[in-house]
Amino acid sequence: MHYNFDEIINREKTGSVKYDLRERIFGDEKVLPLWVADMDFRTPDFIMGALQKRLEHEILGYTLVPPSFYQSVADWNKRRHNWMIKSEWISFSPGVVPALNLLVMAFTQPGDGIIIQPPVYFPFFTAVENHGRRLIANPLRYEQGRYEMDFRDLESKIDKGTRMLILCSPHNPTGNVWSPEVLRRIGEICIRNKMLLVSDEIHSDLVFTGFRHTPAASISEDIAGITITCMSPSKTFNLAGLSTAYLIIPDAGLRKKYETLLDHVHVGSGNIFGFIAAEAAYGKGEEWLKQLMAYLEGNLMFLRDFLAKHLPMIGVVSPEATYLTWLDCSKLGMSPGSLRSFMIQEAGLGLNDGPQFGKEGEGFQRINIACPRRILYEALVKMHTAVKNYFAK
């Protein structure tokens, strides 16, 4: 079956964060929204079909996490990432961001140090700071249009009170797919310093040709023993509204501690539709995902070509994974505040502002390219016209 990713679907007034919060976020309900990380593509037929079938049974009472859900997660990880996991290692979470917060609460105390690697997805900052933990920034190094980890800085910042490192793998917003060597080094540093490694791998299925995702916990048994991996079908299959994610925790003691907290806050039962959609996605989604990745790669190429030809002042940090693309706008020479208002008011675009991801994001914007190519084209024309007008003044 051929899936049509060119179809433009109106999402306004569907309760969509991306569309219906524009006035609140950007002060303008008309900006073209290419920000929050969901996709403007139709939910595939095999997922909609499974949901519709469940709706025929017209009782939607309290639900268990079905055992078949755990099995589908294990099968998917074996097929996609060559990672053999046991069903009993898997725990439910109503989302990856909720999981990050629960893990911070379960495994650290107020005042403990937690390392994150900015520029990074902004809820990493709040997961640490909202609970009174100490944020330790180990910024990625940006050199010649590429980001890499700074191990020397990392080791120098670990102190006795440092308990956890939250890894983003693949990395949002820079699009890095971390190599097994990098992951081994990170894992070994955590082991040596008695730190827990929380690995957010929500983007792990969205990897471009030539790259391969390695789950950090698959590197060695020792690393698996201190690692909690957070995953979800929500990015891959565009199911964020169903609030269904999972953690893989090989160590029984760590798993028990997490599940006890999950129980105490009564969010462990999940969402009937989330499990049905996840199983349909993982059971039948390979072909759709293949076509999705080909389309996203086409969009990425289109973006790169357009900018190289018409707007070479804006650099693309080419993602190895994810549909989130990090644009280096530093050559425009605007201050952080004025770059944001330029994109909103002059270009009419709703992007993610670089400094949301930490001060390292100054001069950058994040654009979400998971939209029909015609919309991406429209966005790039708007950007080009605004920059032309800006320099013509």
Ligand X SMILES: Cc1ncc(COP(=O)(O)O)c(C=O)c1O
Query: Of 95-103, 148-156, 265-273, 329-337, which part binds ligand X (CB under 6 A)?
Result: 95-103
Question: Rounded to the nearest whole angstrom, what is the least distance from the CB of residue 381 to ligand X in the complex?
Answer: 26
Contact of 391 with 316, CB cutoff 8 Å: no
Kindly state whether residue 200 participates in binding ligand X, applying the rule CB under 6 A.
yes
Nearer to ligand X, 224 or 245 (CB): 245
Angle between helices 373-392 and 286-310 (to 10 degrees): 20
Contact of 208 with 293, CB cutoff 8 Å: yes
Kindly state whether residue 37 participates in binding ligand X, applying the rule CB under 6 A.
yes
Residue 300 neighbours by CB distance under 10 Å? 19
Question: Rounded to the nearest whole angstrom, what is the least distance from the CB of residue 288 to ligand X in the complex?
Answer: 20
Count, residues near ligand X per rule CB under 6 A: 13
Kindly state whether residue 95 participates in binding ligand X, applying the rule CB under 6 A.
yes
Question: Rounded to the nearest whole angstrom, what is the least distance from the CB of residue 127 to ligand X in the complex?
Answer: 10
Nearer to ligand X, 72 or 232 (CB): 232
Q: Is 160 helix (H, G, I), strand (E, B) or coil?
A: coil
Kindly state whether residue 240 participates in binding ligand X, applying the rule CB under 6 A.
yes
Kindly state whether residue 121 participates in binding ligand X, applying the rule CB under 6 A.
yes
Kindly state whether residue 101 participates in binding ligand X, applying the rule CB under 6 A.
no
Integer-rounded Cα Rg, in Å, for the chain is: 21
Contact of 108 with 135, CB cutoff 8 Å: no
Residues 258, 99: Cα–Cα separation, whole Å: 9
Phi/psi zone of residue 10: left (φ > 0), alpha (ψ -120 to 50 degrees), beta? beta
Kindly state whether residue 245 participates in binding ligand X, applying the rule CB under 6 A.
yes
Kindly state whether residue 262 participates in binding ligand X, applying the rule CB under 6 A.
no
Query: Of 78-86, 90-98, 132-140, 366-374, which part binds ligand X (CB under 6 A)?
Result: 90-98
Nearer to ligand X, 161 or 268 (CB): 268
Question: Rounded to the nearest whole angstrom, what is the least distance from the CB of residue 38 to ligand X in the complex?
Answer: 8
Kindly state whether residue 168 participates in binding ligand X, applying the rule CB under 6 A.
yes
Nearer to ligand X, 245 or 293 (CB): 245
Kindly state whether residue 202 participates in binding ligand X, applying the rule CB under 6 A.
yes
Query: Of 44-52, 89-97, 313-321, 331-339, which part binds ligand X (CB under 6 A)?
Result: 89-97
Nearer to ligand X, 202 or 376 (CB): 202
Residues 31, 336: Cα–Cα separation, whole Å: 19
The angle subtended at Cα 91 by Cα 90 and Cα 93, nearest 5°, is 135
Kindly state whether residue 351 participates in binding ligand X, applying the rule CB under 6 A.
no
Nearer to ligand X, 37 or 280 (CB): 37
Residues 288, 77: Cα–Cα separation, whole Å: 17
Query: Of 23-31, 79-87, 93-101, 140-148, which part binds ligand X (CB under 6 A)?
Result: 93-101
Buried b (16+ CB within 10 A) or exposed e, 152-180: eebeeebeeebbbbbbbbbbbbbbbbbee
Q: Which of 172, 229, 299, 325 binds ligand X (CB under 6 A)?
A: 172
Kindly state whether residue 73 participates in binding ligand X, applying the rule CB under 6 A.
no
Kindly state whether residue 97 participates in binding ligand X, applying the rule CB under 6 A.
yes
Residue 29 neighbours by CB distance under 10 Å? 15
Helix segments in the chain, DSSP class H: 17-20, 22-26, 45-55, 67-81, 96-107, 123-129, 151-157, 180-192, 221-225, 234-237, 252-264, 272-284, 286-310, 336-341, 373-392
Contact of 172 with 123, CB cutoff 8 Å: no
Q: Which of 32, 39, 74, 96 binds ligand X (CB under 6 A)?
A: 96
Question: Rounded to the nearest whole angstrom, what is the least distance from the CB of residue 243 to ligand X in the complex?
Answer: 7
Question: Rounded to the nearest whole angstrom, what is the least distance from the CB of residue 121 to ligand X in the complex?
Answer: 4
Query: Of 43-51, 92-100, 258-266, 333-341, which part binds ligand X (CB under 6 A)?
Result: 92-100
Q: Write the CA distances from 331 to 311, 335, 378, integer angstroms.
A: 11, 11, 22
Question: Rounded to the nearest whole angstrom, what is the least distance from the CB of residue 232 to ligand X in the complex?
Answer: 5
Residues 268, 58: Cα–Cα separation, whole Å: 23
Nearer to ligand X, 234 or 299 (CB): 234
Pairing of strands 196-200, 227-231: parallel
Pairing of strands 196-200, 162-168: parallel
Interface residue list for ligand X (CB under 6 A): 37, 95-97, 121, 168, 172, 200, 202, 232, 234, 240, 245
